[in-house]
Amino acid sequence: MARVVKSLGRGGQSYAEKELGWNRVVIRKGMHELDSGIVCLNNYRGRGRKRAEAHLPNLLAAIKEIVDGQSQTDPTFRTTRLYTRLSAAEVREQLIAQKGYSDEELPCAATINSKLNELGYRLRTVLKSKPEKKFPKQTPSSHN
């Protein structure tokens, strides 16, 4: 792009933007690379907010320690997911009480909920498996 714009001469950037639909910022970056001989890399992955684990490296291990004692497998054994009776808010409170985290440094309950899902826990009450009924329910037409 930079070579084409340079060959167009003065006003080449404006022309390329209007006629070819090229982004002017990208054209300037290419011109700078062409002039200096250094390839400019953008750190696109380095942008944005860091994950909670980056700020608190032991957070996932602490969550797992708390929830493992309160979790059960699926009673039907159809899935490998673990079910826990603890809510995300309760896990957050136990992190403060047991693990010594402060209220300000911990993420909100919604974030802890997503971390629990990433770890493979489902947040719902564990139901006991219900036995099957021995006799089918009679319909009104089956009565004598």
For 3-40, how does the pLDDT look when each residue is reduced to its tens digit (9 = 90+)?
888 888 888 888 888 888 888 888 888 888 888 888 87
Place of tokens 């919604």: 110
CA angle 105, 88, 46 (to 5 degrees): 50
Residue 38 zone, left/alpha/beta (φ > 0; ψ -120 to 50; rest): beta
pLDDT band at 93 (very low <50, low <70, confident <90, very high): very high
Which ranges constitute the DSSP H helices of 23-87? Answer: 24-36, 52-55, 59-68
